Amino acid sequence: MRGRHEIWERRLTSPIYIHLPPPRPRTTMILILAILAAARASPHGLPSPPVIPRDQLQTPTPSCDDPDGCRSLVDIIRSCILTILLCTWVSIHPNIPSPDDRWPRIAWRRAGLTILALIAPEVVIGWALRQRLAAAELAEEHKGEP
């Protein structure tokens, strides 16, 4: 079995292993914006939107002539609440359940965590921090074991 250093040296000398640093999102975004700016500056590039004077702008009046085609306040609130609940449900990552646990118990536990995250998100952060500290303690305790 090769050691880590032997594999790393092989990677450095072999042309097969070329390690490029991962692109940073900020650098990528700046590069994209620079390309767009250059494309707009070019005479054959992207056309700029026309400039319209303020006095010619017309603000649309909010009206809904067809009540069936418009969203009501209840529809908007219901979709917002549903979106918040689903995003919280997906963002909660509980521990792997026991093989003895059945789906109703797992669903109730996850629903409880979702409600807890909605009411007091700092509790979920504290829970994650406690698990992180316990994992670091276990890793230190078993350090060097095969």
Q: pLDDT tens digits for the chain (146 residues)? A: 444 444 444 444 545 555 556 656 667 778 788 887 777 677 676 666 777 777 777 766 666 776 666 778 888 899 999 999 998 988 888 888 888 989 899 889 989 999 999 999 899 889 889 989 999 999 999 888 76
> What is the rounded distance in angstroms from the CA atom of residue 86 to the CA atom of residue 89?
5
Query: Dmax of the chain from CA atoms?
Result: 77
This prediction's pTM: 0.47
- How many beta carbons lie within 10 A of that of residue 117, not counting itself? 19
